[in-house]
Amino acid sequence: MTDTATGTAPSRTTATRAMPSALKLGLSRGMVETKMFFREKDAVVFTFAFPIILLMLFGSIFAGPLEGSGVTVSQLYTAGLIGAGVMGAGFQSLGIGIAGDRDDGTLKRLAGTPMPRSAYFIGKIINVLVIAFLEVVILLAIGVLMYDLDLPGQVSSWVTFAWVFVLGVTAAALLGTAVSSLPRSAKSAAAVISMPFVVLQFISGVFIPFTQMPEWLINIASVFPLKWMCQGFRAVFLGDGGAMLELTKSYELDRVALVLGAWVIGGLVLCLTTFRWKGRRDG
């Protein structure tokens, strides 16, 4: 064999054909990621059941109206757990998922193919959006059917919902991506990533109203996106009556947008500077 390049693979002569676009491959990855997610039954149950069980638990224990607001405690929890559910899909399951991808060779394999690296992240975002959207639909259905939650009638509330959801999912997903580099292995990822998330839920007003918390804890929670995401969802689902339950007697939607927007930018910077395509074992 003197000229092996002309061997048995005729397609090599047409190597000038264009590379598949990052967007197309991102969509393809999104489909594959979503398929894999729903086939892994434990992860599906863990992701969806956690906020649902908590909502039903808290909704049953703390029934009854909150004084003077026309809002019931279970309605408050519905809004809060929607925030926690969105954050869970973005931060927790994505963070653990990427740590797993790093550990099981997914990232290394992908890095060795001509797939543009952005396609991986587009795929993850699609996956997170699907999970978060389903989570919200399920929690809302439970809220409406069991806890007399009224879905907002005005378009403006749904516009608010849309931007809080998009900004919140994005910020959570970027933070989840960044935090995925922390655990040393996939085995430790669940613990390393879930622990701060649980703490954050307790101090961000998901379970315990802010009015019952010390100021220093409120200050810590105010740094992170979950508090603001929940506040945004309360604005959508509890309406004007619930505003008086807020610390400042207002939902402060402008600040919600500002803080979530800042986390999107900060999270992006964090991802770009810390993301590892290799596991720690790989050096």
Partner 1 sequence: MTNAIQVRGLTKRYGDVQAVKGIDLDIRRGEVFAFLGPNGAGKSTTVEILEGYRKRDAGEVSVLGVDPGRPTREWRSRIGIVLQTANDAAELSVRETVRHFAGYYPNPRDPDEAIAAVGLTESANKRVRQLSGGQRRRVDVALGVLGNPELIFLDEPTTGFDPEARRQFWELIEGLAHTGSTIVLTTHYLDEAEALANRVAVIAGGQIVAEGEPATLGGRATAKAHVIWDEGSVETDTPTKTVLELSRRYDGEVPGLAVTRPTLEDIYLKLIEAPRD
Cβ-based nearer residue to partner 1, 111 or 162: 111
Whole-number CA gyration radius for the chain: 22
Rule CB under 8 A: choose which of 187, 276, 278, 280 binds partner 1.
Answer: 278
Q: How many residues bind partner 1 (CB under 8 A)?
A: 38
> Does 249 help bind partner 1 (rule: CB under 8 A)?
no
Residues in the chain: 283
Cβ–Cβ < 8 Å for 18, 104: no
Instruction: In whole angstroms, give the CA distance from residue 92 to residue 176.
Output: 6
Q: Which is nearer to partner 1, 4 or 154 (CB)?
A: 4
Residues 108-147 within binding reach of partner 1 (CB under 8 A) = 108-109, 111-116
Our CB check for partner 1 shows the closer of 113 and 212 to be 113
Query: Scanning residues 79 to 108, which ones bind partner 1 (CB under 8 A)?
Result: 101, 104-106, 108
**Do 55 and 77 touch, CB atoms closer than 8 A?**
yes
Structure tokens at 232: 């945004």
Residue 139: burial class (beta carbons within 10 Å; 0-12, 13-18, 19+):
buried
State which of residues 36, 45, 141, 199 lies at the interface with partner 1 (CB under 8 A). 36
Who contacts 125 (Cβ-Cβ below 8 Å, separation ≥6)? Answer: 30, 170, 173
**Binding to partner 1 (CB under 8 A): which residues in 38-67?**
39-40
**Residue 153 is a binding residue for partner 1 (CB under 8 A):** no
Select from 262, 223, 266, 112 the least CA-distant residue to 274.
266
Separation of alpha carbons 86 and 226, rounded Å = 9
User: Which window, 12-20, 80-88, 196-204, 209-217, contacts partner 1 (CB under 8 A)?
Assistant: 12-20
Question: In the complex with partner 1, which residue's Cβ is closer, 40 or 240?
Answer: 40
Site residues (vs partner 1, CB under 8 A): 1, 4-9, 11-12, 14-15, 17-20, 24-25, 28-29, 32, 35-36, 39-40, 101, 104-106, 108-109, 111-116, 278, 283
